[in-house]
Every structure is written in C-alpha cells, then in structure tokens.
Amino acid sequence: PLLQPLADYFFHEATDFEGHEGVFAQGAFVHRTCRGPAAGGVRNWSYDTVEAWFRDGLRLGKGMTHKNALAEIWWGGGKGVMARNTGCGLRHEDTAEERQTVYEEYGAFMSALNGCYVTAEDVGTSGKYTLRDMKALFSQTRFTTCIPTDLGGSGNPSVPTARGVIRGIEAAFDHLGKQLAGSTVAVQGVGHVGLPLIEFLLSKNVQQIIAADVDTPRLKTAATYIQQLPRGDRVKLQHVKRGDLSILFTECDVVCPCATGGILSIDTIPKIRAPIVCGAANNQLASLDTDAKLLKKHGICYVPDFLVNRMGIVQCADEAAGYVSPDPNIEKHLGNEWSNAIYNLARSVLCEADATGKTSQEIALKVAEERSYQLHPIWGHR
Ligand code: NAD
C-alpha cells in the first residue's frame, strides 16, 4: 500500500515467482536532473524493510548526482534498485528464465519512464549474470547503457573504473611525496574492479599486494588470473569471513576498498595503519561528515570515492553518446592534460583540503553540489 501512490511511475511490482519467499519490487530513484536525465546503475539486492530499500535508493541516487556532476557528465543522478525482502542477499537459486523475466520487466519499466532515468549494471546485476541480464534489459528499452559488446555497446565498465582508481592512488602518493613503485598495497575485494586494479598495480611495479575476499570461487578465479601476470608472485590472496574488515588494518602504504560501502567508520578508522585510502567502493564513509573528519584527524589521506570511481559511468556516458574504442574522452579523464581529469582533480582537492583544514570529502562535495545545479540547455530540469 505504501507504494500505491507512486506505483506505475517510479515503482513497479515485478513478478513474484511461485515457491519463492518475499516480494520483488523494482524502483527508479531520481535524485536531480538539472544536468540531464538521471543516470546510474540498477542494484539487485535484498532489504528487510521498505524503508531500508528507500533509504538505499535515495542515498545511491544522490551519490550519482555528485559523481556525474564532478565528472562534468551531462547527466543528473539516479539509481535503480530491485528490492527483495528475503533477508539473505542475492538469490543465486533464481533460474535463468526468472532472471530474464525480471530484467525484461525492468527494461519495460525504463521505457515507461520515457528516459528521465537511464540505467546500467550495478551490484547484483553482475558476475556471471551480467551479459544475460543486460541483454534481457536492453531487449525492452533503449534507456540503458553497459549494453553487451556483441550488441554494439561498451560492455562491462569495471576495467576503466580500475584505471581511474590507479590515477587517484598516484595523485595521493605524489601529494605525500611518496613513490607507488616499491610500495605495499592492501586491496579489499577481488571482484570486477579489484582484480584489474591488482593487475595495474603490478604494472606500476608495486612491491607487494595483499588482497582479501569473502568469496572462495572469486579468490580461485583471481589466483588463476594473477598467476600468469608478470610479477604475479607479489600478490598474496586471503580468504576472510563475511563482515571481516581486517584487510583494512594491514600495515601498508595504501588501502584500496573495492568491495562494499560503509566500511570507513568510527570502529575501523582508528585501526587503519596506511597513510592513504583510495578505492572503488561506493559510499565508503559510514557517515559522510564525521568519518571524513576522523580520517583527517588520524592523518590519513583519503581520496573521495566518487572522484576516483567515475570511469564506469564515464564509459556509460560515452556509450550513450556514440562509443568508439579506444575512446579519447576516456583518455582525457585519465590523462594529465585536463584540470578535471581524475589525477589533477584529486591533487587539487587534496591540496585545498590541506590549505583550508577541511576534509577532502567536503571540498569534492562542494564542487560536485555546485556543478550538479548547472542546467543542461536542452534536457535539464530544476
Ligand atoms: P564485485 O561484486 O564484482 O566485487 C566485489 C568483491 O568484494 C566481491 O568479490 C565480494 O565477494 C567482495 N567482498 C564483499 N565483502 C567483502 C569483505 N568484507 N572483504 C573482502 N571482500 C569482500 O563488485 P565490483 O564491480 O568490483 O565493484 C566493487 C565496488 O566498487 C562496489 O562498491 C561498487 O559499487 C563500486 N564501483 C564499481 C564500479 C564498476 O565499474 N564495477 C564503478 C564504480 C563503483
């Protein structure tokens, strides 16, 4: 009943499969559309309450407003969230047919919104299902990105995301007058972003990488892949239990969170022994203001996640505008020539944070907020 007034517009109740627990509902959380249509991936996750689902959708949508604006993409911010109340995370027991139905329904839902929200892949719409899910979604709508490459799209955005994170890490090392080559790095999560990140770190000649994951099959895949990389013997993989955050407390030069959000908190920050935190995970700070201040108080150089993990959405924006490979716009974001490129922006944010006594999060957020109100001449809405 809570959804009823909004039903058929931003929310939509999807098929509830016989014999499965819980409801399955689909949502589009449109946060701000001044710069253009709201854009961000669709998450497939389980929530215990409708409130938890709404809270997550609204928070993630707002995060996309800031990420897109900071990257100077002509898109607003939004996020799709498919919600389940099974209380058990993703349901791997879904059959291929059921997943196909759910993603086709989401595609039809996107078409019904007429483009005020443009979707993409996200957590849960990933792993071995990505191609199938995105194909099913694309069969019903053009308001999506991350279209599989065999259908003419740009595919999985995670490798460019990892390349962007490396530029953020380099900016932090340079800011502190340290060398990335020869350093020790801790990586949380060896998934779509974590694994290519390890590969790029090895190519930068880091001395040692300690990486942890909760998922044994993922670790096995990672081990096989890393084995054949030059200097692959410098990587040590660890299995950790769900909820175990000890990788963050490794004695090293930089910690790279590439798993879940909310991991930088009053409980974890005092135990971090690295001088730099820079990684791909969205919403790393449990509390945006107090935890950013706590990092600063502990002398930790934090490069805001929404600044360094933009390359996935940049690739999506390029795809929507007519993707070419290799795309010069992607190189622009990663290079040194443009003041808003990840490396240059990260350096200026870190310098301003030092000069003003503010946190890097505050500085980046202020720029993002200002830019998020710039009105696209054709598609923008106040
Ligand atoms: P993914 O699901 O492929 O990988 C995440 C990995 O983290 C998984 O292997 C998972 O088992 C592991 N993990 C979960 N909890 C853990 C813990 N406590 N300790 C260690 N490992 C743990 O996801 P991804 O696409 O690699 O994305 C990683 C993060 O980066 C997410 O927060 C995502 O929102 C963010 N991000 C991804 C992209 C992208 O292009 N894929 C873009 C921007 C932001």
In CATH, what number is assigned to the domain containing residue 251? 3.40.50.720
Residue nearest atom 24 in ligand 1 by C-alpha distance: 192
User: Would 324 be classed as within a structural domain?
Assistant: no
Same domain, 349 and 216: yes
User: Would 377 be classed as within a structural domain?
Assistant: no
Give the end of a domain, one of 88, 117, 151: 151
**Interface predicted TM-score (ipTM):** 0.99
Distance 261 CA to ligand 1 centre (A): 9
Query: How distant, in Å, are the alpha carbons of 134, 331, 340 from that of 347?
Result: 36, 18, 10
Same domain, 53 and 90: yes
Distance 382 CA to ligand 1 centre (A): 33
CB atoms within 10 A of CB 86: 16
CATH of the domain at 43: 3.40.50.10860
Ligand 1 closest atom vs CA 309: 43
Same domain, 11 and 118: yes
Same domain, 107 and 45: yes
Catalytic residue list contains 79 = yes
Mutation pick for ligand 1 pocket among 309, 314, 342 (CB with most ligand atoms within 8 Å): 309
Q: Identify the helix (H) or strand (E) that includes residue 205.
A: none
Angstrom distance (rounded) from CA 14 to CA 23: 8
CA atoms within 13 Å, Cβ hemisphere of 268: 23
Mutation pick for ligand 1 pocket among 214, 284, 305 (CB with most ligand atoms within 8 Å): 214
Residue nearest atom 8 in ligand 1 by C-alpha distance: 191
Distance 378 CA to ligand 1 centre (A): 35
Among 107, 114, 106, 55, which Cα is nearest to 381's? Answer: 114
Beta bridge partners of 257: 188
Phi, psi of 235 (to 5 degrees): -105, 130
Same domain, 250 and 120: no
Residue 143: which domain range?
Answer: 7-65+78-151
Catalytic residue, candidates 62, 79, 135, 296: 79
Same domain, 250 and 166: yes
Same domain, 126 and 188: no
Mutation pick for ligand 1 pocket among 59, 70, 123 (CB with most ligand atoms within 8 Å): 123
Same domain, 267 and 165: yes
Same domain, 253 and 361: yes
User: Would 322 be classed as within a structural domain?
Assistant: no
User: Would 329 be classed as within a structural domain?
Assistant: no
- For the chain, what percentages of helix, strand and coil (3-state, to nearest 5) are there? 45, 15, 40
| pLDDT, tens digit only, all 382 positions of the chain | 455 545 445 666 665 555 554 456 788 999 999 999 999 999 988 777 777 888 888 889 999 999 999 999 999 999 999 886 554 444 445 678 878 888 999 999 999 999 999 999 988 776 667 788 999 999 999 999 989 888 989 888 899 999 999 999 999 999 999 999 999 999 999 999 999 999 999 999 999 999 999 999 999 999 999 999 999 999 999 999 989 999 999 999 999 999 989 999 999 999 999 999 999 999 999 998 999 999 999 999 999 999 999 999 999 999 998 877 778 889 999 999 999 999 999 999 999 999 999 999 999 999 999 999 999 988 887 7
Distance 308 CA to ligand 1 centre (A): 14
Residue nearest atom 1 in ligand 1 by C-alpha distance: 191
Helical ranges in 238-374 per DSSP H: 288-297, 305-308, 311-322, 328-334, 342-356, 360-372
Give the end of a domain, one of 102, 119, 151: 151
Q: Which two tokens mark 351?
A: 């310098």
Distance 43 CA to ligand 1 centre (A): 12
Distance 374 CA to ligand 1 centre (A): 31
Q: Say whether 343 sits in a helix, a strand or coil.
A: helix
Same domain, 171 and 143: no
Same domain, 122 and 181: no
Number of domains in the chain: 2
Residue nearest atom 15 in ligand 1 by C-alpha distance: 259
User: Would 122 be classed as within a structural domain?
Assistant: yes
Among 321, 363, 379, 318, which Cα is nearest to 157's? Answer: 318
Give the end of a domain, one of 135, 151, 167: 151
Which amino acids bring their CB within 6 angstroms of ligand 1? 123, 126, 157-158, 161, 188-194, 212-215, 218, 240, 244-245, 258-261, 280-282, 309, 312
